[in-house]
């Protein structure tokens, strides 16, 4: 793994976080209030998780589930996840994002945030996870190798049959450069399917191919 892209991602995301973390997390607003910011995370959970509980919970009580989030930013979505699930573990590459997420999760002792190396989940204590989630993170990662490394490591942590639901950039007309930490590498349906197979997942569903919000449902084999 090229160390220079990992350090560039960390430095540039940390600079964005120090400048205006919430804006770079969700560019819909330059001056998010606490309420508006965390409500937008509740909306993400309402749209992507509460509508999909059969695939996500598979009969389990959400309060008995341990879940993982990649690229938590300032805990916009993490807080909503912590309101729903029994245990939440989230990683982010930026120390400043992690500091802001940790502050935002002060009232949620069952939510844990870690600064990671930008390419795997080795920082997370070994445990079986019931669900993994990531949104508006991989669309910023310019390296297919880094993304695939994450997908493989999620497979290591998920229990068999569990779901990793995540979003990638699906607009393949976008040309990202290998060191651009804002515009990530896009995936076609075929590339997503091949990645699932290589990493020990069944890609059972996908939605939004060709668009920015290309959602993938990877079930651990």
Binding mask 141-170 for ligand SAM (x = CB under 6 A): x----x------------------------
Q: Is residue 76 a contact residue for ligand SAM (CB under 6 A)?
A: yes
Q: Is 217 helix (H, G, I), strand (E, B) or coil?
A: strand
Q: Residue 87 or residue 92: which is nearer to ligand SAM going by CB?
A: 92
Tally Cβ neighbours within 10 Å of residue 144. Answer: 16
- Residue, CB closest to ligand SAM: 73
* CA–CA separation, 84 and 56 (whole Å): 12
Residue 121 near ligand SAM by CB under 6 A: no
Q: Which span (50-58, 60-68, 71-79, 164-172) binds ligand SAM, by CB under 6 A?
A: 71-79
Of 73, 142, 170, 186, the residue at the interface with ligand SAM (CB under 6 A) is: 73
Pick the binder of ligand SAM from 68, 77, 113, 132 (CB under 6 A). Answer: 77
Counting runs of H as helices and runs of E as strands, what totals does the chain give? 7, 7
Owner of token pair 């075929």? 190
Q: Quote the CA–CA distance of 151 and 200 in Å, as a whole number.
A: 9
Residues 1-38, buried b or exposed e (16+ Cβ, 10 A)? eeeebbebbbebbbebbeeebbebbbeeeeebeeeebb
- When asked if residue 72 is in the footprint of ligand SAM (CB under 6 A), the reply is yes
Chain residues 27-66 in contact with ligand SAM, contact rule CB under 6 A: none
Pick the binder of ligand SAM from 66, 79, 89, 140 (CB under 6 A). 140
Give Cα separations from 2 to 16, 42, 65, 181, 217 (angstroms). Answer: 22, 36, 35, 14, 28
Q: Quick one: 36 or 160, whose CB is closer to ligand SAM? A: 36
- The site for ligand SAM (CB under 6 A) is made up of 9, 13, 25, 71-73, 76-77, 91-94, 97, 116, 118, 135-137, 140-141, 146
């Amino acid at each position: 793994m090229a160390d220079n892209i990992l350090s560039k991602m960390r430095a540039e995301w940390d600079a964005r976080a120090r400048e205006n973390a919430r804006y770079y997390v969700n560019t819909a607003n330059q001056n998010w209030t606490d309420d508006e910011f965390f409500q937008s995370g509740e909306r993400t959970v309402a749209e992507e998780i509460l509508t999909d509980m059969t695939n996500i919970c598979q009969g389990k009580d959400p309060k008995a589930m341990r879940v993982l989030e990649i690229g938590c930013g300032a805990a916009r979505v993490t807080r909503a996840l912590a309101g729903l699930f029994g245990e939440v573990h989230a990683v982010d590459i930026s120390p400043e994002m992690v500091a802001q997420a940790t502050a935002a999760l002060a009232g949620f002792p069952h939510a844990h945030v870690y600064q990671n190396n930008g390419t795997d989940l080795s920082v997370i204590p070994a445990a079986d996870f019931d669900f993994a989630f990531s949104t508006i993170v991989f669309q910023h990662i310019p390296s297919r190798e880094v993304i695939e490394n994450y997908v493989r490591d999620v497979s290591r942590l998920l229990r068999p049959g569990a779901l990793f639901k995540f979003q990638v950039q699906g607009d393949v007309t976008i040309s990202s450069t290998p060191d651009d930490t804002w515009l990530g590498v896009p995936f076609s349906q075929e590339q997503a399917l091949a990645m699932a197979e290589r990493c020990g997942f069944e890609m059972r569903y996908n939605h939004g191919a060709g668009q920015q919000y290309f959602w993938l449902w990877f079930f651990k084999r």
